Amino acid sequence: MSKPRIYVTRLIPEPALRRLEEVFVLDANRESAPVSRERLLEAVREADALLCLLTDSIDKELLDAAPRLKCVSNYAVGYNNIDVDYATQRGIAVCNTPGVLTESTADLAWSLLMSCARHIVEGDNYVRAGKFTGWEPMLFLGNDVYGKTLGIIGMGRIGRAVARRASGFAMRVLYFDPTVDPESLPQEYQAAELPQLCQDADFISIHAPLTPQTRHLIGAPELALMKQTAVLVNTARGPIIDEAALIQALRDKRIAAAGLDVYEFEPQIPAELLTLANVVLLPHIGSASWETRTKMGLLAAENAIAVIEGRTPPARVN
């Protein structure tokens, strides 16, 4: 019997490609640049499985161009780039990569939080620019993290991993997540409505999926409730924050700072955001460690292989 075919839309770690080759005829874009939409539409025509990224739009047009497709395996935990309802209607399994990127993403959220609290990026730029002339009592004063209140929006795996790290800083943890069972969380974490969390937290970190309910969850009204010393961190999905409202709040110093790994119109970043000193900007690298990206690749490969072999995949979302 001939091998099934898979198309991989971008260069991913080699162990995942090798694993796929054991089962599939592998057609892969081995460049770090994305494939054109045209090439993608052509590549899926013969594909039994597709391993795609969060930057690929897997919509009705694409699914209709793929008559043999049995599996869309996303190399990401978030899957807002896929029309899951339509895939389900077509009997196509949609899979993702939960769990393996939890700790790396939590580490990056904390990196942004600390960078914002203590002016790490501004300090680095200052030294590189040759401006450091000696210790100064009033140079780059930030805010302590120890003993403060951390507000977490979205208490899934990553939100919980971020909360766990807060115990080392003796922080009070507040969370907003209408979908979570409080019994599943440590007793000392306190559930809060979103306005209360915005008012009380010194640091707010977003870990919710992007859904119609979470789009613009943080907008002008929520920013207006935050402390002037508040730091807002987003490593989840850009559209959860109304970016225009955030820019206004940062410009007016309504809040102290923001740490962003994701953007509303990614990869476009508003020019004004680039000019603000009270924001730390990263290029969507929450899961970007060698270990994690390799695990993501292997999990995405196992998902596709399981579907093709008629087994239950490790992480199916529909």
Q: Which is nearer to ligand DGY, 42 or 59 (CB)?
A: 59
Q: Which is nearer to ligand DGY, 44 or 315 (CB)?
A: 315
Residues 42-61 interacting with ligand DGY (rule: CB under 6 A) = 54
Residues 68-87 interacting with ligand DGY (rule: CB under 6 A) = 76-78
Q: Which is nearer to ligand DGY, 104 or 149 (CB)?
A: 104
Which of 8, 101, 192, 231 contacts ligand DGY by CB under 6 A? 101
Strand order in the sheet with 190-191: 190-191, 172-176, 149-153, 203-206, 231-234, 257-260, 279-281
- List Cα–Cα distances, 131 to 180, 251, 278, in angstroms: 48, 24, 19
Taking the complex as a whole, how short is the minimal distance between the CB of residue 101 and ligand DGY, in angstroms? 5
Q: Which is nearer to ligand DGY, 154 or 286 (CB)?
A: 286
Supply the DSSP symbol for 46: G
Taking the complex as a whole, how short is the minimal distance between the CB of residue 188 and ligand DGY, in angstroms? 28
The catalytic site residues sit at: 237, 266, 284
Q: Which is nearer to ligand DGY, 106 or 171 (CB)?
A: 106
Taking the complex as a whole, how short is the minimal distance between the CB of residue 50 and ligand DGY, in angstroms? 16
Long-range pairs, 17-22, Cβ under 8 A, ≥24: 17/297, 19/298, 19/301, 19/302, 19/305, 20/51, 20/301, 20/304, 20/305
Distance of alpha carbon 8 from alpha carbon 69, whole angstroms: 13
Q: With CB under 6 A as the rule, give the number of residues binding ligand DGY.
A: 7
Taking the complex as a whole, how short is the minimal distance between the CB of residue 96 and ligand DGY, in angstroms? 7
First to last CA, the chain: 29
SS3 201: coil
Residues 246-305 interacting with ligand DGY (rule: CB under 6 A) = 286-287
Distance of alpha carbon 257 from alpha carbon 237, whole angstroms: 18
Distance of alpha carbon 28 from alpha carbon 71, whole angstroms: 16
Taking the complex as a whole, how short is the minimal distance between the CB of residue 209 and ligand DGY, in angstroms? 9
Please report, as ranges, the residues that interact with ligand DGY according to CB under 6 A: 54, 76-78, 101, 286-287
